[in-house]
Amino acid sequence: MAVMAEPERAEVRDAMQRLAALTETRLVAASSLYRTAPFEATGPDFINAVVVLATRLNAPELLLQLQRLETGAGRQRSYRNAPRPLDLDILLYGDASISSPALQVPHPRMLERAFVLVPLAEIAPHRVSRSQLGAVASQVIQSLDR
């Protein structure tokens, strides 16, 4: 069993704190941290988590703030699924359905990814069904906090 280095966990926890510090935003809930292999990409394992935010920012404003945090962490968008130090996505925005060139909510691939559904089910079980979890059950995901 591989154990992730503490600095990588600290980076994810730091990102959660930065999310909580966004203007007109508060952190409501945060999942455990999870280790997963890259999905549809190559490279080292990722540490994933899901948070619930309460915010007065509209979805495009929130997306802009998330992209600023990613850039501040050193993210470069050199090609699709390029390795990145931080990847922040809006999975859901209340019950809104948003479709624009810049943003799709609900996230269009969230139901295909255990690294999204498992932590989401932990903190918002009403948002994830058993059948959705069953559809990603073959994907390896390891809790780091339990």
Catalytic (active-site) positions: 75, 84, 87, 89
What DSSP designation does 48 have? E
In terms of Cα–Cα distance, which of 56, 71, 63 is closest to 25? 56
By the 8 A CB rule, do 121 and 136 touch? no
Cα separation, 109 vs 84, in Å, equals 18
CA atoms within 13 A on the CB side of 65: 19
